Amino acid sequence: MDLFTPLSWNDTGFILTGVLNTVFISVVAILVGTVLGLAVGFVRAESSKSVNILLGGFLDILRSVPLIIQLILFSTFIGAMGYPLDPFVAGSIILSLYTMAFMGEVFRSGFNSVPMAMRKAARSLGMSYWQTVRYVRVPIGMRAVFPSWLGVALSVIKDSALVSVIGYMELLRTAEQLISRTQQPLMILIGVGLFYFMISYPLSLYGKHVERKMEI
Amino acid sequence: MIEIKDVHKSFGDLEVLKGIDLDVNSGEVVSIIGASGSGKSTLLYCINAIEKINSGKIIVDGVDVHNKKTDKNKLRQNLGMVFQQWNSFPHLTVLENAALAPQIVKGFTKAEAEEIARKELIHVGLGDKLNEYPTRMSGGQQQRLAIARALAMEPPYMLFDEVTSALDPELVGEVLDTLRLLRDDGMTMICVTHEISFAKEVSDKVAFFHEGLIEEIGSPEEVLDNPQRERTQQFLSKVL
């Protein structure tokens, strides 16, 4: 029996599973990170200095510590506590929090980008505080930061490769296994790079389309 | 009727309003003139409850504006306000800008709100811009949109805070024409303005503010043509 076997069509399903897992965990992290980031960004924009220092400190830790270290520490810590988590769940939690930390800052600047005078104009029409948030600050502020949001989302797709270190069978880990079996790293890594491009590029195109539509 | 009684307002140590008394009757146009920092705009913000007052009372149609129990959002529906900057909502078309508040605040259906908005936009001469985005319009057109947006709430009172001062000189006329239109409709208005000749033409009463107090108040002829107080005379000699 050969120790190494070349890449074959039989590997297609294995590779596709890796692609789908990358897409899946990226979508979860972007969605959860966006929702949590909106809440965090709003609290940051509206809160007192003391709340901001506390929350800002927490977000700074999430943004400053490399994702790979957060993934390993969290996974190990949870396991040591006697609650081992499935790699997808552990990876989703950390990747979502990591995304939230970046999205939170993006959305904070979005909320703050709506001038106070415009908020007062909305209130002077009889709108309540929350109506002003819902109908003025969110749509105007979020348009202003859409390109930054897109940048974070595209990074998350690429950062999702790091979840492989805790055993999640995403695209890069799939590739690693194929490389160790086939000893064809160059071809496989080029292929993986192409897959990442094919996942990211439609989002990038969609972003440009949305930006064009929002150009007023 | 708007009744302002001994209103004091401070920002930190700086007392901006030092005891203002002013009555505005229904159908009346009152212009407030004075140097920058004399408290003119602050008074409008206090009438609209955008700013709190330190003491005194402001009563609009019997409702104490600064009473804690007063529903400020409901109150503001009766007090349309237009600012120095037009503050159009850039993500909405002209029609949507004017229809938003009637729809979400007053609870009209989208079609009803747009009908009201359309009527007011046509009234201020923006009937051909309904589907335009405000950022593509001139400052004067955007300011007229701001007026129509406030009017779409059908308020009995309108407050204007130096609505022409951010405009290029050639655009001032169209906005003043819109205010004349409202005066002719019988709208009750308080206009903080630097346009003295406009104040003279449209006002029933002119109040000259100086350092947080009403220095002189009366008919345009009394205050602008024959000012009795030295400070009013000095101010008018500088601006006329």
Instruction: Identify any residues that bridge with B55 across adjacent strands, giving them in sequence order.
Output: B8
For residue A2, what pLDDT band results from cuts at 50, 70 and 90?
A: low
Q: Does domain A10-214 have CATH number 3.40.50.720?
A: no
Across the interface, whether the CB atoms of B149 and A140 are under 8 A apart is answered: no
Across the interface, whether the CB atoms of B104 and A115 are under 8 A apart is answered: no
For residue A162, what pLDDT band results from cuts at 50, 70 and 90?
A: very high
From chain B, which residues contact A within 8 Å (Cβ)? 48, 50, 73-74, 76-77, 79-81, 83, 85, 87, 89-91, 100-101, 104-106, 133, 135-136, 146, 149-150, 153
Residue B184, number of CB atoms within 10 A of its CB? 9
Domains of chain B: 1-33+53-70+203-233 (3.40.50.300), 79-191 (3.40.50.300)
Cross-chain CB nearest to B105 (options A115, A126, A214): A126
Handedness of CA B188, B190, B193, B199 (dihedral sign): positive
pLDDT in tens, A14-57: 889 999 999 999 999 999 999 999 999 999 999 888 888 999 99
Give which of B204, B152, B153, B199 is closest to B176, Cα–Cα: B199
- Rounded-to-5 percentages of helix, strand, coil across chain A: 85, 0, 15
Across the interface, whether the CB atoms of A125 and B153 are under 8 A apart is answered: yes
pLDDT in tens, B106-149: 999 999 999 999 999 999 999 999 999 999 999 999 999 999 99
Across the interface, whether the CB atoms of A127 and B101 are under 8 A apart is answered: yes
Q: How far apart are CA A1 and CA B58, in angstroms?
A: 94
pLDDT in tens, B142-165: 999 999 999 999 999 999 999 998
pLDDT at B238: 87
Across the interface, whether the CB atoms of A120 and B100 are under 8 A apart is answered: no
